């Protein structure tokens, strides 16, 4: 004899879905009116579409590593062309959405938005060979700088710092071309994937290497020179935020460090504010630094002191 089935719960009555949906709609309407100043709702960029764009671009930059298995020598260029065509078409749609979203006063016509989106993507596509050349220098720096690296292919496949910098160099170019939201989404996708948080505004020179990677944070206005190496949990952050007369944070402004060429910053170091780390300097692990350093500086933690507190002294 079959067991009697459990009674089915009617979700909308149990959870009062009609009431909850109505309240959410009201809150959404207030938020949208404030955000878009009463204009018709613009289409938002699609995170899912941007994931597809980034995957296509990465595969086009390194087709033997991230393209389909078994690509023949003759088929690689065809695959790269096809991947780029699809990625750039989708990117153009997303750029158009961001430009429309940012046109708060409705000053741009549809044709002007279309023209600007096309120009942004064309300029970005033109820069892809330069991005690849920069990335090759980063990959070589990782291989040369890590005794555990057995091959350049291992570095491309396995190193989270390389995965992060590939996406950062894509995002940074889009940031400079005037689509910061798309760039920021790409940066956050890389952050979720690798644990490395690089704002797309950060300027990073060639041959950059993040070893291990987890917990690295690099702020928007940071400037990093050539052949710089960072280890895990390094922060290049802001020391303080300027506020206006009403106590609101002032947006923008140079607030993150400048790291010159050939600097090494070891695990857990925190470097804050618009200070300059002179070229060839070495910053030890867990150092807290808020002042500029001349070239060739070496900074380490102070040696631990042994102190005793006998008979309650110091308590």
Answer yes or no: are the C-beta atoms of 236 and 222 closer than 8 Å.
yes
Cα angle 232-185-197, degrees, rounded to a multiple of 5:
10
Answer for the pair 42, 87: CB distance below 8 angstroms, yes or no: no
Tokens for 140, please give them: 């070589």
- Structure-token match 């993040």, residue found: 210
In this prediction, residue 262 carries a pLDDT of 98
Quick one: tokens of 1? Answer: 């004899």
pLDDT of residue 11: 56
Residue 187, pLDDT score? 98
Q: Please report the pLDDT score of residue 25 as a whole number.
A: 95
Domain ranges (residues) in the chain: 42-196, 202-302
pLDDT (0 to 100) of residue 314: 43
Distance CA 189, CA 175 (A): 15
**The pLDDT value given to residue 315:** 43
What's the topology of domain 202-302?
UDP N-Acetylglucosamine Acyltransferase; domain 1 (2.160.10)
- Alpha carbons within 13 angstroms on the beta-carbon side of residue 278 total 9
| Closest residue by Cα to residue 60 from 48, 49, 71, 45 | 71
Query: Which pLDDT value is given to residue 6?
Result: 63
Indicate the fold that domain 42-196 takes in CATH: 1.10.3130
- The pLDDT score that the predictor gives to residue 72 is 84
Query: What confidence score (pLDDT) does residue 299 get?
Result: 96
DSSP letter at 272? E
The first and second tokens of residue 65, run together, are 């590593």
Check residue 180 and give its pLDDT: 97
List the strands of the sheet with 217-218, edge to edge: 197-198, 217-218, 235-237, 270-272, 288-289
DSSP assignment of 64-84, as one string? HHHS-TT--HHHHHHHHHHHH
Predicted pLDDT of residue 197:
98
| Contact indicator for 130, 81 with CB cutoff of 8 Å | no
Per-residue pLDDT of the chain (315 residues; tens, 9 = 90+): 556 666 555 555 688 889 999 999 999 999 988 888 767 888 999 999 999 999 999 999 999 999 998 888 889 999 999 999 999 999 999 999 999 998 887 788 899 999 999 999 999 999 999 999 999 999 999 999 999 999 999 999 999 999 999 999 999 999 999 999 999 999 999 999 999 999 999 999 999 999 999 999 999 999 999 999 999 999 999 998 787 778 788 888 999 999 999 999 999 999 999 999 999 999 999 999 999 999 999 999 865 555 554 554 444
* pLDDT attached to residue 98: 96
Q: What is the pLDDT of residue 85?
A: 98
Closest CA to 199 of 209, 188, 210, 207: 188
* Nearest CA among 86, 21, 32 for reference residue 56: 86
């Amino acid at each position: 004899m079959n067991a009697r089935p459990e009674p089915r719960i009617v979700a909308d009555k149990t959870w009062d879905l009609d009431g909850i949906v109505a309240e959410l709609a009201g809150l959404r309407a207030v938020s949208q009116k404030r955000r878009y100043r009463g204009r018709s709702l613009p289409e938002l960029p699609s995170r899912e579409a941007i994931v597809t764009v980034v995957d296509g671009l990465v595969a086009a930059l390194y087709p033997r590593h991230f393209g389909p298995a078994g690509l023949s020598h003759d088929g690689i260029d065809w695959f790269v062309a096809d991947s780029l065509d699809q990625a750039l078409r989708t990117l153009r749609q997303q750029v158009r959405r961001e430009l429309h979203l940012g046109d708060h006063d409705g000053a741009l016509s549809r044709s002007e938005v279309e023209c600007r989106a096309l120009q942004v993507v064309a300029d970005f596509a033109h820069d892809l060979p330069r991005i690849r050349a920069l990335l090759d220098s980063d990959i070589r720096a990782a291989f040369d700088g890590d005794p555990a690296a057995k091959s350049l292919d291992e570095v491309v496949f396995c190193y989270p710092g390389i995965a992060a910098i590939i996406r950062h160099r894509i995002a940074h170019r889009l940031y400079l071309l005037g689509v910061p939201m798309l760039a920021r989404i790409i940066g956050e996708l890389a952050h979720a994937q690798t644990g490395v948080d690089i704002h797309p505004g950060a300027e990073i020179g060639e041959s950059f290497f993040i070893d291990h990677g987890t917990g690295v944070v690099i702020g928007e206005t940071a400037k990093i020179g050539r052949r710089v190496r960072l280890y895990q949990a390094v922060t290049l952050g802001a020391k303080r935020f300027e506020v206006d007369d009403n106590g609101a944070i002032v947006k923008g402004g140079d607030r993150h460090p400048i790291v010159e060429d050939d600097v090494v910053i070891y695990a857990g170091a925190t470097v804050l504010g618009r200070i300059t780390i002179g070229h060839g300097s070495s910053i030890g692990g867990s150092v807290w630094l808020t002042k500029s350093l001349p070239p060739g500086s070496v900074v380490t933690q102070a040696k631990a002191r042994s102190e005793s507190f006998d008979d309650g002294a110091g308590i």
